[in-house]
Amino acid sequence: MLAKKPLPLQSFLVQVSRRASQLARQRYDVIVVGGGHAGTEAAAAAARVGAETLLVTQKIHTIGALSCNPSLGGVGKGQLVREVDALDGLCGRAGDWAGIHFSILNRRKGPAVWGPRAQLDRQRYREFIQSELLSTPRLTVVEGSVEDLLVTEPNPEEPGRHRVTGIRLANGSQSISASSVVLTTGTFLSGSLFIGQTTSPGGRIGDAPSSAGLSQTLRETLGLRIGRLRTGTPPRIVKDSVDLSLADVMLPDSQPTPFSFLNTHTRCKPEEQLPCHLSYTTPGVDRVVRESLHLNSHIQEDTKGPRYCPSIESRVLRFPGRKHQVWLEPEGVTSDLLYPQGLSMTMPPDMQLRLIREIPAMHRAEIHTPGYGVQYDFVCPTQLSPALQVKRTQGLFLAGQINGTTGYEEAAAQGLWAGVNAARWALSMPTVALSRTESYIGVLIDDLVSRGVTEPYRMFTSRAEFRASLRPDNADLRLSLKGFEEVGCVSSVRYQEAVRVRNSLQEALAALKALALSTSNWRKKLPNVHLSEAKNSTQTGLNLLQYTEVSFEMLASAFPECLSAYMEFSQRLKIEAVYRHHCNLQKKEIERIQREENMSLPQDLDYFSLPVSLSQEVREILDRVRPSTLSAATRLQGITPAAIVHLFNYVNYSGQKERRAHRNQPDQKEAREEEPCSQNVSLPR
Ligand code: FAD
């Protein structure tokens, strides 16, 4: 099953602008500001949960635009795409529709850390996202720039706690109210663009930044701490001007692997996929970087840029004389442009041309659009709850680059979760959190809200403690069932499919376990497999499947009567068998964290007067971040294991006291005499 064909772009524009001019409602449950990767997922998720939703974005034709590299997924990021898909988000299906070069990265390592990735056709991706939004019930899309938030004064009983009640469109033209607002303004908040020594206001080339009013309200009225980050993008190169015969050819996988659990194949047939090419920098590139440094304002700034996707200037300065990879990637099936990944740069355009011509395959290349840098404000994400709601402001949710992340996948994942929670908040349902024990999305959000960011944050598999359990192959079982049963963002079609898969896998695993044979009998059944076990030991089919040389197909052809019904799941069963032991080992640790996660820390705790032994520094960190659970507190930088024990004891003690009071037991005296810190409870770390 492949996603339905998207509507042509033109049709989307006509229908959206018609809706915009007829904006009937003046009140919505949820308003999402920004139609980038976070905003589109947020709007679609909020509507799926059941909220009347309005998406307001500066330019409708840029909805779903890939501002930088037209690619999706990769190591760590591919896991996020699969999880967004499992929660019924858009980007996985859009990637399958628009993909032109599919590959699984990290194949030399275990399948838990494989990174599904695809190079995309920009136009097709946008068309798909726009078409999906248009056909989403309860969602209205409007073109416009949000000038400011509508904010009520704090309630005298909750000092400092404002409530967001809607938005005002540019030029004071219209105010629209909503129970919750999701801000997903990306790099547009006080955005400045840099090329050479020229700086101009902008969120992206060709796009104005967000209004100053929005930044001012966040900073001054709502009192949020704001930081500044930067990123950059390479020049786009005219394809015909590049001699690709001088670069290495990189072929896609012979069998494309779809991102979406609903798609059994991609739109692009294996033979229609396009190659990518790999080239390298030369000493001439280093020379041009050095000669242009005094003309390059962006590189001279102190603001932090993306460490893992650095500009060519940063690479040359950090690793002088080193040969750097330059990937020459197609921008689409019919596009005349190439994207030179690895050559993000901000020097003047004439120097950019000199630099690219120092690379053999590009010795006569022409630049279509120069590279540029952008600096922007972000909101320090420790001010958010795990629902991505601003802690001190009711009804305001933030997602995407505004929270200090970089990347489409990180933005999409947060967008989906903020949209879900904004809708639940608006519909008076409790907000929900994802744990780092169940998803990479949980890891991402927990890292942001507990630790904050000091540089643009991107996902890596190494950030997840439970990689063996959080695999790309099982995201549907981890999230689609929960997404339907507990969260409300998953359709019944996807849910039914996940239930079918879960039941089939359980049956197949039971059938494999039931196949218990002695080693000598296994040898007879699988004569080509080298089995070194002791003579009379008995092994199950599931044990056998853990051997590198044993495939599910081999077992199914030896026992067709009980296994052939499950051939469709052969790869998933193999992976399940390989990681079974490891997952069982992790189970205890996961249960411990889940217990700690259930121990919530009251949001109104006065950390400065807690009668426990905490240093001033620890109190300040806890007061600033206000972790929502004990588990989140353990991950804060600067919080010692001893501090966690004291906190545990205190919260545990207060909980007991409260429970006793609730039961109306007359043991108040005993409780008063009890010293919270004196309990000798130690927490495993
Ligand atoms: P965006 O995709 O930026 O979307 C923001 C949306 O909000 C836009 O549609 C905008 O029009 C709209 N908007 C803003 N303000 C308002 C307003 N007041 N009213 C209405 N609408 C508004 N990622 C990487 O992984 N690696 C990279 O190397 C990389 N380089 C990048 C280089 C550049 C120059 C840029 C701009 C981005 C780069 N990215 C990179 C980042 C990637 O594009 C973003 O991380 C991702 O797009 C963020 O998604 P988002 O939804 O948060 O914001």
The 10s digit of each residue's pLDDT in 120-158 is 999 999 999 999 999 999 999 999 999 999 999 877 776
Report the atom number in ligand 1 closest to the C-alpha of 372. 34
* Separation of CA 278 and ligand 1 centre (Å): 27
Q: What is the pLDDT of residue 4?
A: 59
Average pLDDT of the residues in 386-398: 95
Contact partners, residue 551, CB within 8 Å, separation at least 6: 545, 570, 574
Written as one letter, the residue type at 619 is R
Q: Is 116 helix (H, G, I), strand (E, B) or coil?
A: strand
Q: What is the pLDDT of residue 305?
A: 67
> pLDDT at residue 341 above 50?
yes
> pLDDT at residue 165 above 50?
yes
The 10s digit of each residue's pLDDT in 599-615 is 888 878 888 888 888 88
Average pLDDT of the residues in 195-215: 87
Find out whether the beta carbon of 145 lies less than 6 Å from any atom of ligand 1: yes
Q: What is the pLDDT of residue 534?
A: 62
Find out whether the beta carbon of 53 lies less than 6 Å from any atom of ligand 1: no
Cβ neighbours of 593 (radius 10 Å): 19
> pLDDT at residue 585 above 80?
yes
Residue whose C-alpha is closest to residue 143's, from 34, 67, 244, 240: 34
* 361 vs 268: which has the higher pLDDT: 361
> pLDDT at residue 267 above 90?
no
Report the atom number in ligand 1 closest to the C-alpha of 40. 51
Written as one letter, the residue type at 61 is H
Q: What is the DSSP letter of 171?
A: G
Q: Are 421 and 431 in contact (CB under 8 A)?
A: yes
Average pLDDT of the residues in 157-171: 83
Q: What is the pLDDT of residue 490?
A: 98
CA distance 435 to 208: 37
Choosing from 32, 68, 149 the residue with most ligand 1 atoms within 8 A of its CB, the one to mutate for a pocket test is: 68
Q: Is 524 helix (H, G, I), strand (E, B) or coil?
A: helix
Find out whether the beta carbon of 71 lies less than 6 Å from any atom of ligand 1: no
Residue whose C-alpha is closest to residue 412's, from 92, 26, 61, 54: 92
Nearest CA to ligand 1 atom 23: 407
The 10s digit of each residue's pLDDT in 225-251 is 999 999 999 999 999 999 999 999 999
> pLDDT at residue 49 above 50?
yes
Choosing from 146, 147, 187, 217 the residue with most ligand 1 atoms within 8 A of its CB, the one to mutate for a pocket test is: 187
Pairing of strands 175-183, 27-33: parallel
Average pLDDT of the residues in 411-438: 96
Nearest CA to ligand 1 atom 11: 58
Find out whether the beta carbon of 58 lies less than 6 Å from any atom of ligand 1: yes
* 303 vs 118: which has the higher pLDDT: 118
> pLDDT at residue 219 above 90?
yes
Please report, for the chain, how many H helices and E strands are present, in that order. Answer: 24, 23
Burial profile 478-494: b = 16 or more Cβ within 10 angstroms, e = fewer: bbbbbbbeebbbbeeeb
Lowest mean per-residue pLDDT among 21-25, 210-214, 637-641: 21-25
Average of per-residue pLDDT values in the chain: 87
Q: Are 226 and 383 in contact (CB under 8 A)?
A: no
Find out whether the beta carbon of 452 lies less than 6 Å from any atom of ligand 1: no
Q: What is the pLDDT of residue 609?
A: 86
Contact partners, residue 530, CB within 8 Å, separation at least 6: 549
Q: What is the pLDDT of residue 193?
A: 94
Find out whether the beta carbon of 445 lies less than 6 Å from any atom of ligand 1: no
> pLDDT at residue 495 above 90?
yes
Angle between helices 349-356 and 283-292 (to 10 degrees): 170
Q: What is the pLDDT of residue 232?
A: 92
Residue whose C-alpha is closest to residue 437's, from 248, 576, 591: 591
Q: Are 127 and 134 in contact (CB under 8 A)?
A: no
- The distance between the two most distant Cα atoms of the chain, rounded to a whole number of Å, is 88
Find out whether the beta carbon of 292 lies less than 6 Å from any atom of ligand 1: no
Q: What is the pLDDT of residue 533?
A: 61
Find out whether the beta carbon of 34 lies less than 6 Å from any atom of ligand 1: yes
